[in-house]
């Protein structure tokens, strides 16, 4: 059995994700910090919708291979150990490649500026580019 940093969290809402995704809250705004930290596991092919964060976001890739894309740019391949710093208000999505699970820690700083602004789903055409 593969050792993981955290156990899988709760199943994420299909309203904001394509495919199966599990989210484990590690730090919540109620912990008196102005941030949210989640451990996120994506099944093969799963991904977020397009979205932005008023306070920006940091992704720390902890397992598997993933994808990250900013609106208008090419998809980037993410490997274990990669860190992605996403500027406030930047439209983007992230998730697993088609061939395996992908896990990252998502840090959403400055949550007093707001949470996630969810947008449309990432289409299969966009995902498969």
Q: What is the CATH number of the domain that holds 82?
A: 2.60.120.10
CA distance linking residue 43 with residue 122, whole number of Å: 15
**Residue 118 falls inside a structural domain:** yes
What would the pLDDT profile of 15-65 be if each residue is shown by its tens digit? Answer: 999 999 999 999 998 778 899 999 999 999 999 999 999 999 999 999 999
Q: What is the DSSP letter of 29?
A: G
**Residue 5 falls inside a structural domain:** no
Q: Alpha carbon of 48 to those of 27, 39, 45, 121: distances in Å?
A: 20, 14, 10, 7
Q: Which domain holds residue 55?
A: 10-127
**Residue 2 falls inside a structural domain:** no
**Residue 24 falls inside a structural domain:** yes
**Residue 93 falls inside a structural domain:** yes
Domain count, the chain: 1
**Residue 119 falls inside a structural domain:** yes
Q: Give the predicted TM-score (pTM) of the model.
A: 0.93
CA distance linking residue 123 with residue 2, whole number of Å: 31
**Residue 3 falls inside a structural domain:** no
| 2, pLDDT greater than 80 | no
């Amino acid at each position: 059995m593969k050792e993981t940093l955290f156990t899988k969290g709760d199943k994420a809402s299909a309203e904001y994700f394509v495919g199966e995704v599990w989210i484990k809250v590690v730090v919540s705004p109620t912990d008196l910090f102005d941030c949210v930290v989640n451990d996120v596991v994506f099944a093969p092919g799963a991904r977020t919708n397009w979205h932005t964060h008023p306070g920006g976001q940091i992704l720390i890739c902890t397992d598997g291979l993933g994808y990250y894309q900013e609106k208008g740019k090419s998809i980037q391949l993410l490997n274990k150990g990669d860190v992605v710093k996403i500027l406030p208000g930047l439209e983007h999505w992230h998730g697993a490649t088609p061939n395996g699970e992908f896990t990252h820690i998502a840090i959403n700083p400055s949550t007093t500026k707001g949470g996630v602004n969810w947008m449309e789903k990432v289409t299969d055409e966009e995902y498969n580019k």
